[in-house]
Copies of this chain bind each other. A is one copy, B any other.
Amino acid sequence: MRRVAILSYGLTKVEKHWRKSLRELFGDAAKEALKETKIPGLDALIVGNMCASDLSDQNNIGALLADHLGIIPSTAYRVEAACGSGGAAVLAAYASVASGMYNFVMTGGVEKLTDGVGGETTRSLGKAADAEYELFFGSSFVSLNALIMNHYMHVYHVSREAFADLAVLMHKNGARNPYAQLPFEITRETVLNSEKIADPITLYDCAPVGDGAAAIIMCPLEDAPKYSDNFVEISGVAGATDTINISSRSDLLSLNSTVVAADKAYKMAKVTPADIDVAEIHDTFTITGALSIEDLGFSEKGKFNKLLSDGAFEPGGVVTINPSGGLKSRGHPVGATGSYQVAEVTMQLMGRAGRMQVPNAEAGLTQNIGGSGSSTYVAILRRAR
């Protein structure tokens, strides 16, 4: 299996991109990634997206974007795993380079959520859950996660305020991110006093709805020095699944897909959680962030709040969690989120993260979830310069 490098990345600010079509938005990210390398061309484009069929009347976006980028006749297809689409696309792209089939592959994600009117966007996002056993009975994504959050507080005796504090840290980080959708600081009270969405989840426990695109260019590691003087190795990559319907799980408080995918990726990269300097994790809701921190091995179960209040997850702490601000503050353009995470950790390891920069970051991790933990895609990156 060939080792694989990331040569460059591109991303757009997450916001309401009403003036840009799907292809133009992805084009912005892709062209930024292409500008930074001297590769002769792209052999393939593998793109993550969830909602374009519902909200832009467009499927077949692999071909659409290959056409827009002018890389015809290179092969192209779309990967979809709900909110984990970007991470799954990274997995597929990695395999295509590692196998020797392709030398230069662009992966990325694009999502336009804010074109939805009425309940269209909420309805579209709900299709990540089990239509027949969850949606049909009136569950929404936030209500399922509210159940989990309530259960967590009950079992582990963790206060509601601890979750608010995680949101506060995310916004503190995101305030330094030029690509963030909500680049401003908040207080614990902002979270506690914001509108209740599904008790105990309030508005500021939730990731916002936004539009965005991110792109990454991969090539074989051994060839990378020819095309860039600053690149990163993907030293581990894995995916795993869990039941799509949360009622089928033996333990609501463990994201088993994250546990399994992380374990595989750590083994492949020959590292442990203690080796990770910076992680971009999937905090759709603050409860999702808390479970992710624990299931990635950055905290014992039920104790994320202890390390959080000790500053372990802040920039310069034990492991910097979401220097981008995470889904909570950078935003969550669902099918592109996994691509943002890989671009952001690459940026950190290249030393190009500006005001977000984690000093001396050598190893990073991304964790991208599809559905309510029904799948997780983890990548481990290391500085290769």
Contacts and interface: CB of A to CB of B under 8 A. Distances in A.
B375 A63 contact: yes
A21 interface: yes
Interface in A40-76: 44, 46, 50, 53-54, 56-60, 62-64, 66-67, 71-76
A242 B98 contact: no
As for how many copies of this chain the complex holds, the number is: 2
A29 interface: no
Contacts of A94: 101
Interface of A: 1-2, 21, 44, 46, 50, 53-54, 56-60, 62-64, 66-67, 71-82, 84-85, 88, 91-92, 94-96, 98-101, 124, 126-132, 135, 238-245, 248, 256-257, 260-261, 370-371, 374-375, 377
A75 B239 CA distance: 5
Nearest to A58: B131
19 contacts: A56-B131, A57-B127, A60-B80, A60-B129, A60-B370, A62-B80, A62-B88, A67-B241, A73-B257, A74-B240, A75-B91, A75-B261, A76-B239, A76-B241, A77-B81, A78-B80, A95-B95, A95-B96, A96-B99
A374 B81 contact: no
A244 to B, nearest CB: 5
A342 to B, nearest CB: 16
B60 A82 contact: yes
B58 A241 contact: no
Contacts of A377: 75
B60 A371 contact: yes
Q: What is the interface of chain A mostly: helix, strand, loop, or mixed?
A: mixed
B127 A53 contact: yes
B59 A50 contact: yes
Interchain residue pairs A-B with the least CB separation, the first 8: A75-B239, A99-B99, A63-B374, A60-B82, A77-B88, A1-B100, A98-B99, A59-B127
Contacts of A238: 75
A250 B14 CA distance: 37
Nearest to A239: B75
